[in-house]
A and B are shown apart, each in its own frame.
Chain A
Amino acid sequence: MILLNDISQTVLIILSIGLLISTLEYLKKVEIFSPNGLLSWNVMQLKWTKQDQKSFLKPFFKLFSAQGLTVLFVIRCLLIIGLFFFPLQSTTGWVLISLLGASLLVASLATYYGSDGSDQMSMLIIITLILCNLPVLASSKLRDIGLWFIALQACLSYAVAGIAKLVSSEWRSGTAIKDVFSTKTYGSKKATLFLQKYPAANRFLCWNVIIMESIFPLCLFLPWEFALIFLIWGFIFHFFTAVIMGLNSFFWAFMATYPAIYFVNHQMSWHLF
């Protein structure tokens, strides 16, 4: 049985919960990969037009049918369940996560459309954990470097998202959140009615997101009690984007990076004040 006293292990466990949900969701919707589905491989393969790409993809053609992907997703679920029992730093744990990484990489060819930032963050974390925990060769220093990479990517993601919002007139004027919440794709009727009733809340929420995302990387340099404010904000932010916008997989993918942020914050030899 695994213990949560290792930061890399904690990252993996949080991520695994999200990946298990995401894989079960794909299993529920596996008909999208059938010949009649939106992501039928008959059509998706047209994306790769060059001869060398086609020959590379040939072995996967049977796999990208609805039946093939069902098998892949079931195997992925079993691998994830296995990761709850075998530590990352054991050989079995490393083999399980490597197979999980391979399944994510292969399936990404068929899910070019429909994947999102949480899938990319998950992939990024899994590949980092595989590389930085290779039995025999990976040192404890390399495991630390992996955690640094995950924490820096997380901070970069928030900062880029914040700056991109800061340069947007729709975000600065405070209309963006109301507009997004009013769509059936990412919004909700209750949230739309609430924001129509309290227009000041629009501006507050927009600027709250702009400021907190833009300065999020400060959490690496601030004393822990102040850095914690950013992580609590992030938790609330992702929880509400899951509740209101249905972005459940973002919650797990980004929460998985927080132990790495905690680690880097505590490794800093100096803090801002």
Chain B
Amino acid sequence: MILKLDPTVIYETVVTVFLASWFLATILCQFKETKISWLIRYKIDFFNLIPLWTFFAPHPGKRDYHLLFRDKISDADYSEWQEMEITEERTFWSWLWNPEKRDKKILSDVVQSLVASIPSYREKTGNLNLLMFSTPYIIVLHAVSQYKKRSQDCYRQFMLAESSGYQKETEPALILLSVFHQM
């Protein structure tokens, strides 16, 4: 008996296997990072198609991030710290129309990525010098470098800090203080 291959059946099988693999990969990439989940997330998932569904857990984001910078004009002359306006309050219509959320999420992602990488840089090199070559660090440095300089040959330093938003009982804390970068 000759088995006749129907293109519809072949297509159906291929798509079903693909969707089943996608679902399985999603399950494998939740919770604890394993070798398989690392391989899927960092080597295969080029388009960020494997979601992490652990929203706001296990550690909910309970701090606001702040990005500040200042200029060094000379050894004795520093500008005041200036904050990049990112954590502005939402409007009444934010439940429907909220373009501001992107800036906040970008900074939050970048800072979390930086913070997460700090221990591994400390462990590998004993200091944070190599952190300056990481993409999140360069994104932050690039963002602050776009602001008007105090003088032509100044150096710029940035600071990442966190605060507890509307709860005033906790003091703002420093996350990272950069070196001075020539602009």
Contact = CB atoms under 8 A, between A and B. Distances in A.
B147 to A, nearest CB: 9
Interface string A137-180: 11101100110010011001110110111011011000011011
A112 B51 CA distance: 13
Contacts of B53: 117, 156-158, 160-161
A269 interface: no
A98 interface: no
Interface of A is mostly: helix
Interface stretch (A5-13, A122-130, A257-265): A122-130
Contact of A182 (B12, B62, B94): B62
Given A131-B15, A179-B60, A183-B63, A137 B7 contact: yes
B94 to A, nearest CB: 4
Contact of A183 (B58, B94, B136, B165): B165
B125 interface: no
Contacts of B101: 25, 246-248
B128 to A, nearest CB: 18
B138 interface: yes
Question: Which bracket fits the contact residues of A?
Answer: 35 or more
B161 to A, nearest CB: 13
Interface of B: 7-8, 11-12, 15-16, 18-19, 22-23, 26-27, 30-31, 47-49, 51-65, 87-90, 94-110, 113, 135-136, 138-139, 142-143, 146, 164-167
* CB-CB nearest 10 A-B residue pairs: A179-B62, A168-B58, A164-B57, A114-B106, A164-B54, A25-B99, A183-B165, A120-B51, A160-B53, A157-B53
Interface of A: 21, 25-26, 28-29, 32, 36-40, 42-44, 46-47, 105, 108-109, 112-117, 120-121, 123-124, 127-128, 131-132, 134, 137-139, 141-142, 145-146, 149, 152-153, 156-158, 160-161, 163-165, 167-168, 170-171, 176-177, 179-180, 182-189, 192, 239, 242-243, 246-248
